Amino acid sequence: MDISVVIPLYNEHESLQKLYEWIDRVMQANSLSYEVVFVDDGSTDGSWQVVEQLRASSAAVHGIRFRRNYGKSAALYCGFQAAKGDVVITMDADLQDSPDEIPELYRMIREQGYDVVSGWKQKRYDNKLTKNLPSKLFNWTARRVTGIKLHDMNCGLKAYRSEVVKNIEVFSEMHRYIPYLAKNAGFEKIGEKVVQHRKREFGSSKFGMSRFVNGYLDLLTLWFLNKFGKQPMHFFGLIGSLMFLLGFVAIVVVGAMKLHALHAGVQAMLVANNPYFHLAILMMVLGCMLFLAGFLGELIIRNSQERNNYQISDSF
C-alpha cells in the first residue's frame, strides 16, 4: 500500500464526509493505493457514527475509537501503530489541511529520500494575536533548541516514511515535536514544504493558549531526556559537585576570616551568625542532594528494560 492517512479527530462530525471524499478524489486522480485511519479521541458529537458510515461505504476507511479524550499524541500513536502504508500522512480533521498536498508530500518521501516532510503554513488565516504571534515565538524557540530548521514545527500536515512512525513513541503532548523525536531516533533527513492553510469551515478550535505554555515545558523535557536521559549523573552529578565544592570553599573562607580576626585581636561575629556560613551550608546540602539524584537516576537507568534499546538501520 502506498499511503496511510492518519487523522486524529475530536468532535468534527460536520467535516469528516467532505474530508474523506476529497482524499479519495486526490488518491484516485494520482493512482495511489491508500487507507484512511480515523482516530476518534473520545468525541461526543456523533463523529464516530460518521466514521462507521464511511467504513460501510469504503473498505479503505479504518477507525479507532477511544472511550474518552486522551489527546492528540495518544491518537497519533495508535494511528501510527495501525498504519500499513509505505508513507504515512497526518492531517487534521477540520479541513484546514488540504488533501491536494498529499501527492507532493508522498513524492518527496519516495523520490527525494526524506524521512520526514513537515508542512509550513506560510500564509495563515488564524487570529494573528492569539495564534500567529505565539506560534512564531514558539517555532523560533523550537528551532534553537532542537537544531531542526522548520518554520512550523506544529503543523498537523506531515509525511513520514513508515519506518519513522514505527520507531518513535509519541506520548503526553509530544505530537508537536515529532520531527525532533524522529531526529533523536536517527532519522535526520527532515524537509519542509509550503502548504495551503484553509479557513475553518465548521466548529471551533480545540486548543487554547495553554498549549504554548505546555509546549515549552514539553520541549525542555525532550531536550533533557535526549541529552541526559542515558547519563543523568552527567547533569545532576556535575552541578551537584560544583555546588558542593563552592559551598566547601565558602566555609573555608568564612573560617579563615574568623581565625584571622582572632589572631589579630579583632572582635568578629560568631561563625554561626555569619549569613555566608549558612549559604555555604545550603550549597553543600543542595550539592549532595543533586549528586544523589544523579546517582539514583543511574541506578534506575541501569535496571531499565530500555537501557539497550538502540535504533539499528541495517545488519548483515
Instruction: Give the separation between CA 150 and CA 139, rounded to whole angstroms.
Output: 8
Residues 24 and 162 in one domain: yes
At 179-209, the pLDDT tens digits run: 999 998 899 999 999 998 877 666 666 555 5
Q: Is 10 exposed, middle or buried (0-12, 13-18, 19+ CB in 10 A)?
A: buried
Residues 105 and 201 in one domain: yes
Place 245 in a pLDDT band, splitting at 50, 70 and 90. very high
In this structure, the number of other CB atoms found within 10 A of the CB of residue 133 comes to 11
Residues 85 and 119 in one domain: yes
Residues 209 and 293 in one domain: no
In the predicted model, is pLDDT for residue 60 greater than 80? yes
Q: Flag whether 138 is in a domain.
A: yes
Q: Which helix (H) or strand (E) holds 87?
A: strand 87-90
Overall domain count for the chain = 2
* CATH number of the domain residue 21 falls in: 3.90.550.10
Q: 120 Cβ partners below 8 Å, 6+ apart?
A: 150, 151, 152, 155, 192, 193, 194, 195
The parent domain of residue 33 ranges over 3-228
At 62-94, the pLDDT tens digits run: 999 999 999 999 999 999 999 999 999 999 999
The cell numbers describing 8, all together, are: 486524529
pTM: predicted TM-score of the whole model, two decimal places: 0.74
Residues 243 and 206 in one domain: no
Residues 218 and 254 in one domain: no
Place 313 in a pLDDT band, splitting at 50, 70 and 90. low
Place 176 in a pLDDT band, splitting at 50, 70 and 90. confident
Residues 142 and 13 in one domain: yes
Residues 165 and 48 in one domain: yes
At 135-174, the pLDDT tens digits run: 778 788 888 888 898 988 889 999 999 999 999 988 878 8
Q: Flag whether 242 is in a domain.
A: yes
Arithmetic mean of pLDDT, 98-114: 96
State CA 236 to chain mean position distance. Answer: 24
Arithmetic mean of pLDDT, 27-50: 95
Instruction: Give the separation between CA 118 and CA 179, rounded to whole angstroms.
Output: 8
Q: 103 Cβ partners below 8 Å, 6+ apart?
A: 26, 30, 32
Instruction: Give the separation between CA 83 and CA 89, rounded to whole angstroms.
Output: 10
In the predicted model, is pLDDT for residue 231 greater than 70? yes
Residues 189 and 277 in one domain: no
Residues 251 and 210 in one domain: no
Q: What proportion of the chain, given as a percentage, has pLDDT over 90?
A: 53
Residues 125 and 202 in one domain: yes
Residues 249 and 102 in one domain: no
